[in-house]
Amino acid sequence: MSRIGKAPINIPAGVTINVDDSNTVTVKGAKGELKQAIDPDISLKIEDGVLNVARPTDQKRHRSLHGLYRALINNMVIGVSQGYKKELELVGVGYRANNTGNLLEIQVGYSHPIYFMVPNELKLETISEKGKNPIIVLEGVDKQLIGQVAAKIRAFRKPEPYKGKGIKFKGEELRRKQGKTAAS
């Protein structure tokens, strides 16, 4: 059996989970509300503040969906109770980031600034301190949406392996290359 699928999901205080007839799971909490459609074969049982995900057979399709939906529902529960946060760091001389509401403006070595509209479901913040690299902070309840938006922002200028310049995740370890050596 799937180790992830077998693990029960603890429902924290203040979080409610509802399952519709159309197999849509709705998770409500202090930070917001998320919905996810699930396969009709997968069943959910809520007992004593614990949610269990079960599959009907050991078919390959059911086995793969079992762990998937358990992980998605667990991410939804964590999102509406605690929330998710991603930080991106701009490394390079003259690299800057500003935001006006959810409109992000970054300057990362191109001849023009890049404007990127962050979805309204996410909270955007930019931090620029003297002597430190600018930081872009994304916060929200949907783990998938935060990861996708952060990956799009990072793709504007991926870190290069020689000097490490570019947009990287905070705490990300980059593989560095040595570069050319002088002829002797």
The distance from CA 96 to its chain's CA centroid, rounded to whole angstroms, is 23
Q: How many CB atoms lie within 10 A of CB 55?
A: 22
pLDDT in tens, 157-182: 999 999 989 999 999 888 999 888 86
Q: What CA–CA distance (Å, rounded) separates 80 from 103?
A: 24
pLDDT score recorded for residue 183: 65
pTM for the model: 0.88
Give tens-digit pLDDT for 91-108: 999 999 999 999 999 999
Per residue in 5-55, pLDDT (tens digit) is: 889 999 999 999 998 888 899 999 999 999 999 999 999 999 988 999 999
Q: pLDDT tens digits, residue range 60-75?
A: 999 999 999 999 999 9
Domains by residue range for the chain, with CATH: 3-81 (3.90.930.12), 84-169 (3.90.930.12)
Tell me what pLDDT residue 184 has.
62
**Whose CA is closest to 82, among 150, 8, 170, 14?**
14
